[in-house]
Amino acid sequence: MKKTPMALASEYMELAFLLPAASFVGYAIGHLLDKAFGTHYLYVVFLILGTVAGFVQLIRKLTRDSANDSQ
C-alpha cells in the first residue's frame, strides 16, 4: 500500500527528533546519576551512550524504509 505524502513527511520528521531526544535522555540519566553518586563524569558516558543509541535507531529506521521501498 502506497503511503500518502503527509504520512511519509511525518515518518521522516520523526528522524529529526530521534537523535536529539536520545542524546538528551542519555544526558539526563547521566546527570541524575552524577547527582545521586556525587560524581562528575557519568553524564558524559550516558550522553555518548544515548547518542550511539540514537544513531542505531536512525540506521534501523532508514534500512527498514529502504528495504520497504525496494519491494
Tell me what pLDDT residue 67 has.
78
Tell me what pLDDT residue 3 has.
81
Q: Give the amino acid at 14.
A: E
pLDDT in tens, the chain (71 residues): 788 889 888 888 998 999 999 999 999 999 999 999 999 999 999 999 999 999 999 999 889 877 776 66
Whether the CB-CB separation of 28 and 50 falls below 8 Å is answered with: no
HSE-up of 47 (CA within 13 Å, CB side)? Answer: 8
Residue located via cell numbers 540514537: 54
What are 65's three cell numbers?
A: 524504509
Whether the CB-CB separation of 62 and 34 falls below 8 Å is answered with: no
Whether the CB-CB separation of 69 and 62 falls below 8 Å is answered with: no
